[in-house]
């Protein structure tokens, strides 16, 4: 099986920083992409940032210049450094990964359980 284990999140004041971590584990053959989505109450889930296997990173416009996504290939981990947080960044943040399991040829999308980020004004 494949698991995505998230850590980080919590409560922070506006202007503060948080760091989210997501580690993929299990029968991993290769990772096509890995990143973070978020979902605020009453809103659809939306992309925050994602990194492809080749290293290219896609950021949502609303986080450019404030959030930085990085990865640690050896540990199948991505880190989302969130700076200059705003109240509108309040949401549940979900780790997402597109992974091919060992001895297979199909890529499958996986989700973490979600971690709450709350930014107070």
CA distance 37 to 60: 10
- Residue numbers in the chain where pLDDT is lower than 50: none
Terminal CA-CA length for the chain: 41
CA distance 96 to 102: 19
Q: What pLDDT is attached to residue 67? A: 98
Residue at token pair 């698991």 = 3
Q: What pLDDT is attached to residue 74? A: 83
Q: What pLDDT is attached to residue 37? A: 98
Q: What pLDDT is attached to residue 75? A: 87
Q: What pLDDT is attached to residue 48? A: 98
């Amino acid at each position: 099986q494949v698991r995505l284990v998230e850590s980080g999140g919590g409560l922070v004041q506006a202007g503060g920083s948080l760091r989210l971590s997501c580690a993929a584990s299990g029968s991993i053959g290769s990772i096509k992409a890995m990143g973070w989505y978020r979902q605020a109450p009453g809103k659809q889930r939306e992309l925050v940032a994602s990194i492809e296997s080749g290293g290219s990173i896609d950021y949502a416009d609303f986080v450019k210049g404030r959030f930085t996504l990085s990865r640690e290939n050896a540990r199948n981990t991505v880190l989302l450094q969130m700076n200059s947080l705003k109240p509108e960044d309040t949401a549940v943040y979900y780790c997402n990964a597109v992974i091919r399991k060992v001895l297979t040829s199909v890529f499958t999308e996986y989700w973490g359980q979600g971690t709450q980020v709350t930014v107070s004004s």
